[in-house]
Amino acid sequence: MNNLYKSYKSLAVMLFSVSVSNSAFSERILEGLSFDPVSPLIYKSRIFLIPDDKQNIASEILGKYKFKEVDKLLLSKLYPLKKFDTSEMLQEQIDSSLEYAEKCDKAANLIFYKEKREPLLHEAEIHKAYANYTKSISSADLKPYLIKTIVFNRKTGAYRIYLKGNSLVVRHGSLGATTYTAKPLIILVFTERTINDVEVYSNIAQ
Protein backbone atom coordinates (compact mmCIF):
# COMPACT_ATOMS: atom_id res chain seq x y z
CA MET A 1 0.00 0.00 0.00
CA ASN A 2 2.82 2.37 0.91
CA ASN A 3 4.62 1.62 -2.35
CA LEU A 4 1.42 2.28 -4.30
CA TYR A 5 0.96 5.59 -2.47
CA LYS A 6 4.55 6.58 -3.22
CA SER A 7 4.05 5.74 -6.89
CA TYR A 8 0.93 7.89 -7.12
CA LYS A 9 2.70 10.69 -5.26
CA SER A 10 5.68 10.54 -7.62
CA LEU A 11 3.38 10.59 -10.63
CA ALA A 12 1.50 13.59 -9.24
CA VAL A 13 4.75 15.49 -8.66
CA MET A 14 5.92 14.69 -12.20
CA LEU A 15 2.64 15.82 -13.78
CA PHE A 16 2.64 19.00 -11.70
CA SER A 17 6.23 19.66 -12.78
CA VAL A 18 5.39 19.26 -16.45
CA SER A 19 2.34 21.49 -16.01
CA VAL A 20 4.32 24.27 -14.34
CA SER A 21 7.14 24.11 -16.87
CA ASN A 22 4.90 23.94 -19.95
CA SER A 23 2.79 26.77 -18.63
CA ALA A 24 5.86 28.88 -18.01
CA PHE A 25 7.57 28.24 -21.32
CA SER A 26 4.38 28.86 -23.29
CA GLU A 27 4.35 32.39 -21.85
CA ARG A 28 8.02 33.15 -22.49
CA ILE A 29 8.41 36.84 -23.28
CA LEU A 30 12.08 37.44 -24.08
CA GLU A 31 14.24 35.68 -26.63
CA GLY A 32 17.93 34.95 -26.23
CA LEU A 33 20.10 34.40 -23.18
CA SER A 34 20.21 37.94 -21.84
CA PHE A 35 18.27 41.18 -21.54
CA ASP A 36 19.80 44.19 -23.26
CA PRO A 37 18.34 47.57 -22.19
CA VAL A 38 19.70 49.10 -25.41
CA SER A 39 17.45 46.79 -27.45
CA PRO A 40 14.38 46.10 -25.29
CA LEU A 41 11.29 44.27 -26.46
CA ILE A 42 8.11 46.26 -26.99
CA TYR A 43 5.55 44.12 -25.13
CA LYS A 44 2.23 43.28 -26.81
CA SER A 45 0.35 45.61 -24.45
CA ARG A 46 1.88 48.50 -26.43
CA ILE A 47 1.08 47.19 -29.92
CA PHE A 48 -2.29 47.84 -31.56
CA LEU A 49 -3.73 46.92 -34.95
CA ILE A 50 -5.34 49.81 -36.78
CA PRO A 51 -8.98 48.77 -37.45
CA ASP A 52 -9.63 47.65 -41.03
CA ASP A 53 -12.03 50.52 -41.68
CA LYS A 54 -9.34 53.01 -40.55
CA GLN A 55 -6.41 51.60 -42.52
CA ASN A 56 -7.01 54.09 -45.35
CA ILE A 57 -6.98 57.00 -42.92
CA ALA A 58 -3.77 55.71 -41.36
CA SER A 59 -2.25 55.36 -44.83
CA GLU A 60 -3.16 58.99 -45.63
CA ILE A 61 -1.55 60.13 -42.37
CA LEU A 62 1.64 58.26 -43.17
CA GLY A 63 1.76 59.36 -46.79
CA LYS A 64 5.14 58.39 -48.26
CA TYR A 65 6.66 57.65 -44.83
CA LYS A 66 6.96 54.20 -43.25
CA PHE A 67 6.51 55.55 -39.71
CA LYS A 68 5.20 58.68 -38.04
CA GLU A 69 4.55 59.89 -34.51
CA VAL A 70 0.91 60.86 -34.02
CA ASP A 71 -0.83 63.21 -31.61
CA LYS A 72 -4.07 62.83 -29.66
CA LEU A 73 -6.14 64.37 -32.44
CA LEU A 74 -4.95 61.85 -35.01
CA LEU A 75 -5.39 59.02 -32.51
CA SER A 76 -9.01 60.05 -32.01
CA LYS A 77 -9.58 59.78 -35.78
CA LEU A 78 -8.24 56.24 -35.80
CA TYR A 79 -9.82 55.14 -32.51
CA PRO A 80 -12.87 57.38 -31.85
CA LEU A 81 -14.05 55.44 -28.80
CA LYS A 82 -10.77 54.21 -27.33
CA LYS A 83 -8.71 55.74 -24.54
CA PHE A 84 -5.07 54.72 -24.35
CA ASP A 85 -3.70 54.33 -20.83
CA THR A 86 0.09 54.22 -21.03
CA SER A 87 0.37 53.41 -17.32
CA GLU A 88 -1.70 50.26 -17.84
CA MET A 89 0.43 49.29 -20.84
CA LEU A 90 3.61 49.44 -18.79
CA GLN A 91 2.05 47.73 -15.77
CA GLU A 92 0.93 44.80 -17.92
CA GLN A 93 4.48 44.51 -19.25
CA ILE A 94 5.83 44.46 -15.67
CA ASP A 95 3.23 42.01 -14.36
CA SER A 96 3.65 39.56 -17.24
CA SER A 97 7.44 39.58 -16.86
CA LEU A 98 7.31 38.97 -13.12
CA GLU A 99 4.66 36.25 -13.45
CA TYR A 100 6.83 34.40 -15.95
CA ALA A 101 9.91 34.83 -13.71
CA GLU A 102 7.98 33.42 -10.75
CA LYS A 103 6.95 30.34 -12.74
CA CYS A 104 10.55 29.76 -13.76
CA ASP A 105 11.69 30.08 -10.13
CA LYS A 106 9.06 27.55 -9.03
CA ALA A 107 9.94 25.12 -11.81
CA ALA A 108 13.64 25.40 -10.90
CA ASN A 109 12.89 24.10 -7.39
CA LEU A 110 11.10 20.97 -8.59
CA ILE A 111 13.06 17.72 -8.40
CA PHE A 112 11.80 16.68 -11.82
CA TYR A 113 13.68 19.64 -13.36
CA LYS A 114 16.84 19.38 -11.31
CA GLU A 115 19.06 19.31 -14.42
CA LYS A 116 17.36 22.44 -15.80
CA ARG A 117 17.60 24.38 -12.55
CA GLU A 118 20.33 26.83 -13.64
CA PRO A 119 18.79 27.69 -17.05
CA LEU A 120 15.40 28.23 -15.39
CA LEU A 121 16.88 30.49 -12.72
CA HIS A 122 18.71 32.43 -15.42
CA GLU A 123 15.48 32.74 -17.39
CA ALA A 124 13.80 34.15 -14.29
CA GLU A 125 16.59 36.68 -13.76
CA ILE A 126 16.50 38.14 -17.27
CA HIS A 127 12.72 38.59 -17.04
CA LYS A 128 13.12 40.32 -13.67
CA ALA A 129 15.67 42.61 -15.32
CA TYR A 130 13.12 43.36 -18.06
CA ALA A 131 10.52 44.19 -15.41
CA ASN A 132 12.97 46.50 -13.61
CA TYR A 133 13.81 48.23 -16.88
CA THR A 134 10.09 48.75 -17.51
CA LYS A 135 9.66 50.29 -14.05
CA SER A 136 12.20 52.94 -15.04
CA ILE A 137 10.00 54.11 -17.95
CA SER A 138 7.67 57.01 -17.28
CA SER A 139 4.20 56.53 -18.75
CA ALA A 140 4.41 60.15 -19.95
CA ASP A 141 7.41 59.21 -22.12
CA LEU A 142 5.54 56.67 -24.26
CA LYS A 143 5.10 58.00 -27.78
CA PRO A 144 2.53 56.61 -30.26
CA TYR A 145 3.84 55.79 -33.74
CA LEU A 146 2.07 54.57 -36.82
CA ILE A 147 4.18 51.87 -38.47
CA LYS A 148 3.71 50.50 -41.99
CA THR A 149 4.33 46.74 -41.80
CA ILE A 150 4.07 43.76 -44.14
CA VAL A 151 2.25 40.54 -43.19
CA PHE A 152 1.52 37.23 -44.89
CA ASN A 153 -1.21 35.75 -42.69
CA ARG A 154 -2.89 37.95 -40.08
CA LYS A 155 -4.95 35.11 -38.61
CA THR A 156 -1.97 33.02 -37.49
CA GLY A 157 0.62 35.77 -37.19
CA ALA A 158 2.20 37.73 -34.36
CA TYR A 159 4.57 40.65 -34.00
CA ARG A 160 7.96 40.77 -32.28
CA ILE A 161 9.04 44.39 -31.99
CA TYR A 162 12.29 45.66 -30.51
CA LEU A 163 14.03 48.95 -30.07
CA LYS A 164 17.59 49.05 -31.37
CA GLY A 165 18.91 52.33 -30.05
CA ASN A 166 16.51 54.82 -31.66
CA SER A 167 15.50 52.44 -34.44
CA LEU A 168 12.52 50.11 -34.30
CA VAL A 169 12.79 46.53 -35.55
CA VAL A 170 9.41 45.07 -36.51
CA ARG A 171 9.08 41.35 -37.28
CA HIS A 172 5.87 39.57 -38.19
CA GLY A 173 5.82 35.78 -38.37
CA SER A 174 2.90 33.63 -39.39
CA LEU A 175 1.87 30.12 -40.39
CA GLY A 176 0.24 29.09 -43.62
CA ALA A 177 0.72 28.00 -47.20
CA THR A 178 3.52 29.56 -49.19
CA THR A 179 0.87 30.76 -51.64
CA TYR A 180 0.04 33.63 -49.25
CA THR A 181 1.19 36.98 -50.60
CA ALA A 182 2.60 39.77 -48.44
CA LYS A 183 0.18 42.60 -47.73
CA PRO A 184 0.67 45.99 -46.05
CA LEU A 185 -0.78 46.49 -42.60
CA ILE A 186 -0.46 49.62 -40.46
CA ILE A 187 -0.14 49.25 -36.70
CA LEU A 188 0.21 51.57 -33.72
CA VAL A 189 3.17 51.15 -31.37
CA PHE A 190 3.94 53.03 -28.17
CA THR A 191 7.68 53.44 -27.63
CA GLU A 192 9.77 55.01 -24.86
CA ARG A 193 12.20 56.57 -27.34
CA THR A 194 11.99 58.94 -30.26
CA ILE A 195 12.25 56.82 -33.42
CA ASN A 196 14.45 57.82 -36.34
CA ASP A 197 14.24 54.63 -38.42
CA VAL A 198 12.19 51.44 -38.78
CA GLU A 199 13.23 48.01 -40.08
CA VAL A 200 10.34 45.80 -41.19
CA TYR A 201 10.52 42.04 -41.74
CA SER A 202 7.91 39.38 -42.41
CA ASN A 203 8.00 35.63 -42.94
CA ILE A 204 5.66 32.67 -43.22
CA ALA A 205 6.26 29.04 -42.26
CA GLN A 206 4.24 25.97 -43.21
- pLDDT value, residue 11: 36
Q: How far apart are the C-alpha atoms of 162 and 171, rounded to whole Å? A: 9
Q: What is the CA radius of gyration of the chain?
A: 21
Please report, as a single letter, which amino acid is at residue 139: S
Please report, as a single letter, which amino acid is at residue 141: D
- pLDDT value, residue 59: 97
Q: How far apart are the C-alpha atoms of 36 and 33, rounded to whole Å? A: 10
Q: What pTM did the predictor assign?
A: 0.84
- pLDDT value, residue 22: 45
Q: How far apart are the C-alpha atoms of 45 and 128, rounded to whole Å? A: 18
- pLDDT value, residue 18: 42
Rounded average pLDDT over 5-30:
48
**43-81 pLDDT per residue, tens:** 999 999 999 999 999 999 999 999 999 999 999 999 999
**98-132 pLDDT per residue, tens:** 999 999 999 898 888 778 889 899 999 999 999 99
